[in-house]
Amino acid sequence: MRVLVTGGAGFIGSNFVHQTVRERPDVQVTVLDALTYAGDRESLAPVADKVALVEGSITDAALVDGLVASSDLVVHFAAESHNDNSLNDPSPFVQTNLVGTFTLLEAVRKHGVRFHHISTDEVYGDLELDDPAKFTPTTPYNPSSPYSSTKAGSDLLVRAWVRSFGVQATISNCSNNYGPYQHIEKFIPRQITNLIDGVRPKLYGAGQNVRDWIHVEDHNSAVWAIIEKGRIGETYLIGADGEKNNLEVVETLLEIFGLAKTDFEHVNDRPGHDLRYAIDASKLRDELGWTPRYTDFRTGLEATVDWYRANESWWRPAKEATEARYAAQGQ
Ligand code: NAD
Ligand code: TDX
């Protein structure tokens, strides 16, 4: 099988490529990635001899058409993915997340290629901290940020292309991922690399906001389950019952580094900061028989800390500029 992976040089996409090469030798992988600030050729270095990397944008219709024509499946990870960046400049989010997804949909429609669209739980907006509810596939869309609204729009494009044009597509909406190769602008790797540098972790606001953490390997095993066993046109929510507030995550990291639980700083909050995300993944578990492997958050976090310690050459080049951007916002 020939698989085109968009965004395969980013965090989740590169982990997907590694997992696929490791576990599915029958799959031939081509990555299409624009290598923005978030994409890194080095993230594919361990599999470089087994994977073709095409540098280009998913908004380039001619390039996309040719690559889709010679694929049996497209797994679409490419996106502008960071909420804080979307608040500073929404423009690339509209281009990549909306126009890029539209461009891919037109190509899979033309060539009759199976499509899997990777999306986020943020399309549902947020839940109250004291609300026992979780997101389900029928929760109404209510996105908060330019990032989540463009992801919501891209999901709706996929649904319409399935309904109107018979495109063979599935959608997954996953909660917050952690693991190796995540850009250090994101919460967990930012704090890990700060701690390695002897800098105190930076918590937005009071740190009460809740995220539903899942290890990236579990996200990607669920994606393969949906590709192989999911029903066309369906949406599957991916999550591993990993709810933690941000303060708890920082405290666990401080413990792993052998520091006092109070050894962090409060910084400016994110405007419009979503309170809580929580996923009900029962459809994925019951219908497709998927289960996560990383059920102990602390163990997964320890392994992630070890990875950042061992791979400083991967993240160090981006550290200074990333922190300078945050410092300019009092974060
Ligand atoms: P990332 O920012 O680490 O990687 C995105 C990749 O897409 C990068 O390699 C980048 O170079 C590439 N890219 C950006 N614009 C492109 C374009 N126009 N053409 C081609 N490539 C382009 O993001 P991530 O965290 O790996 O997220 C991957 C996907 O998973 C996204 O669709 C995101 O919405 C979704 N998602 C992420 C999370 C999470 O916790 N990180 C959770 C749920 C869903
Ligand atoms: O320094 C920080 N301090 C802090 O308290 C940073 C960078 C973040 N935070 C908070 C904000 C959030 O409540 O941590 C939480 C997680 O922040 P991010 O890593 O920016 O993730 P989030 O905004 O929740 O979105 C992530 O999960 C859903 C991904 O970036 C999205 O791509 C995905 O769709």
What length does the chain have? 331
Whether 144 is in the pocket of ligand 2, judged by its Cβ within 6 Å, is: no
Percent of the chain residues past pLDDT 70, beyond the cut? 100
CB of 277 closer than 8 Å to CB of 212: yes
Fold assignment, 2-178+213-238: Rossmann fold (3.40.50)
For the chain, what are the domain ranges?
2-178+213-238
Residue 171 phi, psi dihedral angles, 5° rounding:
-130, 140
Across the range 310-325, mean pLDDT stands at 98
122, 126, 185, 323: which is the annotated catalytic residue?
Answer: 122
Whether 304 is in the pocket of ligand 2, judged by its Cβ within 6 Å, is: no
Query: What pLDDT is attached to residue 243?
Result: 97
Whether 187 is in the pocket of ligand 2, judged by its Cβ within 6 Å, is: yes
> pLDDT-based confidence at 154, cuts 50/70/90?
very high
Angle between helices 187-196 and 246-256 (to 10 degrees): 30
User: What is the Cα–Cα distance from 233 to 78, expressed in whole angstroms?
Assistant: 20
Q: Say which amino acid occupies 204.
A: Y
Percent of the chain residues past pLDDT 90, beyond the cut? 100
Across the range 181-204, mean pLDDT stands at 98
Query: How far is ligand 2, taken at its centre, from the CA of residue 88, in Å?
Result: 15
User: What is the Cα–Cα distance from 177 to 211, expressed in whole angstroms?
Assistant: 10
pLDDT in tens, 115-150: 999 999 999 999 999 999 999 999 999 999 999 999
CA nearest to 47, candidates 14, 24, 1: 14
> pLDDT-based confidence at 328, cuts 50/70/90?
very high
Query: What pLDDT is attached to residue 57?
Result: 99
Across the range 250-275, mean pLDDT stands at 97
Whether 322 is in the pocket of ligand 2, judged by its Cβ within 6 Å, is: no
Q: Please tell me the residue having the least CA distance from ligand 2 atom 17.
A: 187
> pLDDT-based confidence at 195, cuts 50/70/90?
very high
Q: Is residue 147 among the annotated active site residues?
A: yes
Across the range 182-192, mean pLDDT stands at 98
* Least distant ligand from the CA of 54: 1
Query: What pLDDT is attached to residue 241?
Result: 97
33, 40, 80, 121: which is the annotated catalytic residue?
Answer: 121
| Predicted-complex ipTM score | 0.99
b/e per residue 11-49 (b: at least 16 CB within 10 A): bbbbbbbbbbbeeeeebbbbbbbbebebbbeebbeebee
Strand partners, 51: 29
Q: For ligand 1, what atom is nearest to the CA of residue 121?
A: 43
Across the range 73-88, mean pLDDT stands at 97
* Least distant ligand from the CA of 330: 2
Query: How far is ligand 1, taken at its centre, from the CA of residue 39, in Å?
Result: 8
Quote the mean pLDDT of the chain: 98
pLDDT in tens, 227-261: 999 999 999 999 999 999 999 999 999 999 999 99
Q: Please tell me the residue having the least CA distance from ligand 1 atom 44.
A: 120
